Chain A
């Protein structure tokens, strides 16, 4: 059940942590509710970092990883609850993807360039206006570490301290990356 009744009779949305407890007890329906709840922000986060085609695969991998690690989830030690924990897993999946892509990049670079020239990116069909297309292209041009901290901040709503901890860098470094990324985006959008 996605909602429960409060004492006043008004429906209350079941919390992520409550759904996770149900998932820990083997209730996959609770997992489905979480997937639905976080589909939009998580999918967009993965799209911005890994591209539209890979985002789908990474999304599934993320949720399977959530299922695998459900027993380890503890809301008191997850640094702000389920959402940061979920984005932490997604970020790890993206990092794995980047690492594997780095190995294949040199081999596929030429092929990708040809494909990019021949057909528009799948995401461009979704993000319609010229201004939006430019923004997508500008985000793609950001260095991976700047793009990651900026998107993580925007889509997960994690605190800067948590982001720095997740990425394993000093707080100053994380904030510096955000600052540089925003300046670079502004320049690219002019």
Chain B
């Protein structure tokens, strides 16, 4: 059962022989009773046969160059098929997450990262110990730490902190600041030690 058709559509379907049997029978009864409907059917039949005749005349000659065209399309199909097969052959390789050459590079990168991590943590202990050195201006320690040996040690530490990570650079800055402060404090202390008035027994007694 086809959908509800208008009259012309029903007639076209009838002419094409595509109307279901029950609907065809019903239409034939109506055609027998309705001459206008029968005339319309004849008009459509004529229209259809004219069209078919014209098209048959138009397509009477075969399209030239069929053999060449078929050969060209067949070649394209073969090439297309070969291309698809190649893609399918390559497909399993795409399952790998990384290309083979990436594995040794990844291993080397991991070793480098471990070394950098270890190296980055090594100087951190020295920084802590240096920062914890007594550098207060009020303590008597600056007099003792301002020796030449300690100056050399500071210089060495400063050198070791050069080209280090930012955290350690900040520590270096604070260390440099402490060093300069220490030097400022150390100078008058030395002067005072050299000064005969300061070394006087009166001063000692006062202490």
Q: Which residues of A are interface residues toward B (Cβ below 8 A)?
A: 26, 28, 31-32, 35-36, 39-40, 43-44, 47, 56, 59-60, 63-64, 67-68, 126-129, 131-132, 135-136, 150, 154, 159-161, 170-172, 175-176, 178-179, 182-183, 185-186, 189
A-B contact pairs, 29 of them (CB 8 A): A28-B81, A36-B66, A43-B63, A44-B59, A59-B69, A60-B72, A60-B76, A67-B77, A67-B80, A67-B81, A132-B57, A135-B54, A135-B55, A135-B58, A136-B58, A154-B51, A154-B55, A159-B16, A159-B18, A161-B18, A171-B5, A176-B6, A176-B8, A178-B12, A182-B47, A182-B50, A182-B51, A186-B51, A189-B54
Least CB distance from A129 to B in Å reads: 8
Interface size on B, residues (CB 8 A): 38
Contacts of B44 in A (CB 8 A): 179
Q: Is the CB of B73 within 8 A of A59?
A: yes
Chain A residues closer than 8 Å to B176, beta-carbon distance: none
When C-beta atoms are compared, the residue in chain B nearest to A180 turns out to be B8
Q: Are B12 and A170 in contact (CB under 8 A)?
A: no
Q: Given A39-B69, A40-B62, A132-B58: A64 and B76 within 8 A (CB)?
A: yes
What residues on A are CB-neighbors of B16 within 8 Å? 159-160
Interface residue ranges of B67-81 to A (CB < 8 Å): 69-70, 72-74, 76-78, 80-81
